[in-house]
Amino acid sequence: MTITQQELLKQAKDNLSETYIDAVFELDISDRIETIADEYGLDTQQTDILDQETIYLLLGITNSPEFTERLGDIAEIENKTLLKVITAVTSKILKPLKESLESSGDSESSASIPVPPPPPSPSAGYGGTSDPYREPADN
């Protein structure tokens, strides 16, 4: 059985304020994730992982460094694209959520919105990969 975003939010309701949950529902995160995925050429599996990990981040199931790491490792998004995807998630989901909470007067919830760190920068000496034993990819 697959747990949907809405079901995850309902399960986390005990730990999150009503204002926070309402703000998350109003954002229509799935549409925003689809837009980000289309913009950066993510495949279906990568899009699903981005969707799931974003929800986990918003629910506090994962933290910001784990979010970045899991997108790189599980979704296998390369660092250049990963940086752009994280920037897009921050600007298209996290920032609007924070602004919505601040405008509703829920400053406590808005202060707790996570901001993912950028992925580690690739080593320039190895053709953009972090593994010195790996052949550089032709992009």
Identify the pLDDT of residue 16.
Answer: 78
Identify the pLDDT of residue 21.
Answer: 77
- Residue 14: CA count within 13 A, CB half-sphere: 1
pLDDT level of residue 3 (50, 70, 90 thresholds): low
CA distance 63 to 127: 30
Helix orientation angle between 29-39 and 44-59, rounded to the nearest 10 degrees: 140
Residues 6+ apart with CB under 8 A from 3: 11
pLDDT in tens, 44-65: 999 999 998 998 888 877 888 8
Identify the pLDDT of residue 39.
Answer: 96
CA distance 22 to 8: 14
